[in-house]
Structures are given as C-alpha cells and as structure tokens.
Amino acid sequence: MGMNNSISRRSMMLSAAAAAAGITALGQSTSNPPNFIVIYTDDQGIGDLGCYGAKDAKTPNLDRLAARGARFTQWYTNSPVCSPSRCALLTGQYPWRHGIRNFLTANATNTIKGLQPGARTLPGELRKLGYRTSIVGKWHLGSARESRPLAQGFDEHFGFYSGWSDYYSHRYYNMSRTSPEHIFHDLWRNGEEVFEDPQYSTEMYTREAKAFIERQANASQPFFLYLAHGAPHYPMIAPKKYLDRFPTTMDRERRMHLAMIAAVDDGIGEILDLLKQKGIDRDTVIFFQSDNGATSEARSDSQGRPYRGGSNAPYRGFKGGLFEGGIRMPALLSYPAKIAANTVDTNIGQTMDILPTFLEWAGAKEMPPALDGKAWRTSPDSREFYWEYQGQTAIRRGDWKLMLGPKEGLGDPVTAPRWLSNLNEDPSEKRNWLESNSQVAQVLEDKLKQWSQDLPPL
C-alpha cells in the first residue's frame, strides 16, 4: 500500500499534493483551535453501515458523516476486543504497554484497575491546551478510583464503568453468577451514582452529548467529547420505533441489531444538526469508529446460537479474532474546514493514530513520549502494523498479513498455526498463501517475533 494509493496518508495534512489527492484546503480554519468529537460504537461490524455497502442497514446520518469527509477502507482497531481498543484510542500506544490486553472485568465495589496514574491520555493532553473534556457512555478502562475518567483527563463523565449495562435498568449482570457482587447498578455522573431507569441508554447518551456541546458552544471554549455508545453490544434490545423501520420478515437477530444501530444513527444526526445550528460544524473534527468487529457470542443471540446479527462482510472472522472481520473497522473522519467531501482513504491506519493527529491539529508543541501511533502527516507508508490477543499475534506489511495461532472469534479453536493472507488478492482471507510464499512469511514471522519479545507473559 502507501503512495500508490489514490490518497496518501501524508495528504491528510493538507500539503500541496493534497488538492490532487482529494483532501483539500477548503479555506483556512479560524484562529480558534478545532473542537474534537470521537464517537465509538461497540461490536458494530463494517457490514453494518450503508456507506460501506450494507443495503439492509439504515444509517443515513453515518452516511452523511462519511459524505462530508473521509471514509477509511483499511482502518484497524488495535485489538479485537473493547478495553484494549479504547486504551489505544486514548493513549496513542499499544494497549499492552498499559497492562490492558483483554476486556476488563467488573465488580460491584468498583475496584477494577485499568489505566494507571500518570498515563498520558488524549483528554489530559487536550486539557493542557485549554480544552474542556467530557466522556459520555461506556468507559471500560477501570472502575478503581485512580482509573476512572475524572482521574484520566476528563473534566466531566456520564455513563458506566463496566463492559456493558442493561439499556433500561442500567445494571450490569453476569449470567453465570447471581451474587450481589455480580449484579449491580452502573450509571454515574462525575463519580456520583444516578438513576435514570427506564430511559433507553442510547437516547440518554445522545441527550448528554448534546447538552455538553450546548454548554461549550455558549462558553466559546474548545472541547473534546468522547461519545462511547454501548450499542450494539449485548443485551440486544431496542424500542419499537426503531424496530419498525425494518421489515418483520427480516432475520430476528439482524433486525434487532440494525434497530440498535438506528438509535445511535439518529443521535449522530441530532449532533450534526446541533453543530451546524451553533455555527461550529466546520471547525469541529468528528471521528467515528467501532471498537472491534461484530461478535459471534451466543449470549447475543435470542436462542443462544452463535450470533450472526452483526455483519463484518466481506471479511472473515469476528470479535476476538485477528482475521480481518475482528479488526478492520468502519471509520469516518469529518473536518469540513479542511477535509474535502466524499474522500475515500485507502491507506492503512490504526486507532492509536488518533491521539497524535488530534494533538497536532490542536497545536500541541510536543507529543507525549513513547507514542506508537503516528500523526497522518508523519506516518511512513512502509510502517508495519502489529496485533496480539490471547495467544494470537499478527503483523501486516503492505498487502501481506501473517497471523500466528489465529482464531475466528472469541472462544474458537486455533484455525491454523500460521496463516498468511494476501489482502490485495484475497481480502476475505479464504486462502492460506503460506505454501507458495514461504519467504515472505518467514520475513514477517521474524519481525513479528522480534516485536513480541516486548510483550509481558499472559
């Protein structure tokens, strides 16, 4: 990949070549620093958005977001599960550097450790530059006091600490355990427990996000909003008004999954409209991504079968695996003052690239040390990309991707000891190219093993 692509990663920073590439300087931004909004969904596959070709999905506002900026075709999460993905987003580093290599557990005493004191986070760095910072929705980076949002750079927090919560009662419960320790209410505002049942949480988070934008627009202070929806993660439930948008003849699991996404999409539309109403839409950067691919977990299925309500099509695999379906994400970036509409970026990127990119755009004079992510202007096209999860490791270099011990998804057996993919010729990874390309595989394996030497033992 790289400079032969229709749009290079360097073009994202508006060089003279950017005009020909498709990302253009559409007039200089105001002297004010841009606002930043990150919208994260949970277990949403790349085949769950209209702008990525899903004909059964109804996502007009995500499609609108794509049309007003850049849609990425080779954007990757740093992990196929939620907590490490979010860690990479907020730190610009591989999540294992922070000891977050799997999804974090939950308990009623809120003592789960995650991000540690002293972590250099995106909200913390932006706050140094005069930004007001807020998170709305799912945290899942630790419930212990030192790991909570207000200890990790956020000025405001509304949402839940654990990996998921019921959409109406806002309770977390572990199906295999029934003690009070594993069934508890989980909704908080700035460290204080609040009760809003039976408000549907997706709509509730949209309300809170809009209220924060209203306050900041009126205060004329730049802001960073991290809107982390719990949808469409288990438990699968949506109000009738969203279900009614899809035919009753549709597969039950798919219909519910898409209804939950429709609720998220409506909220994104409300946010886009509010930004325009306040006159700050052109100078507000919006980044959208799902944390990992759609899941195959049986708990998400109404009859306890392997779940197929979400779609990672045309890619193979699911959440928890290193095939493309688990890690290649829907990702959109809108910045009307600087990024041309209807841009399609075919270059490779990862979640951890967001922190250095946002800090550059905010005018930071220096970056936190030891970043693994690269701002778009400085990202080398020959960069190698690495993943690890629960004994699986992978490297991508150009069109080639080597996986050691890959699995299809959570709880699945190892597919093969070694799997070599040619993502240009076979993006769905139907074929193992190992036998006919052993030298390529060996070079990648040597690099992967060298990178893996830094990994702590599981």
d(CA 227, CA 401): 32
Identify whether 456 is preceded by a cis peptide bond (ω within 30 of 0).
Answer: no
What does each C-alpha distance from 348 to 7, 303, 448 come to in angstroms? Answer: 11, 38, 18
> Is 120 in contact with 368 (CB distance < 8 Å)?
yes
What does each C-alpha distance from 256 to 104, 109, 218, 315 come to in angstroms? Answer: 26, 32, 38, 22
d(CA 445, CA 31): 48
Strand-pairing partners, residue 184, are: 172
Closest to 433 measured CA to CA, from 442, 425, 422, 423: 422
The residues near 438 (Cβ < 8 Å, ≥ 6 apart) are none
Given the residues 140, 170, 229, 257, the one annotated as active site: 140
Provide, for the chain, the percentages of residues in helix, strand and coil under a 3-state DSSP scheme, each rounded to the nearest 5.
Answer: 30, 20, 50
Does 140 qualify as catalytic in the annotation?
yes
Given the residues 51, 82, 87, 98, the one annotated as active site: 82
d(CA 305, CA 392): 25
What does each C-alpha distance from 285 to 148, 174, 260, 281, 336 come to in angstroms? Answer: 25, 37, 25, 8, 8
Sign of CA dihedral 336, 340, 342, 343: negative
Closest to 398 measured CA to CA, from 344, 368, 437: 437
Q: What is the DSSP string of 396-409?
A: EETTEEEEES-BSS
| Structure token pair of residue 207 | 């309300």
> Is 347 in contact with 71 (CB distance < 8 Å)?
no
Surface-to-core class of residue 155, CB atoms within 10 Å of its CB (0-12 exposed, 13-18 middle, 19+ buried): middle
Q: Which residues are catalytic?
A: 82, 140
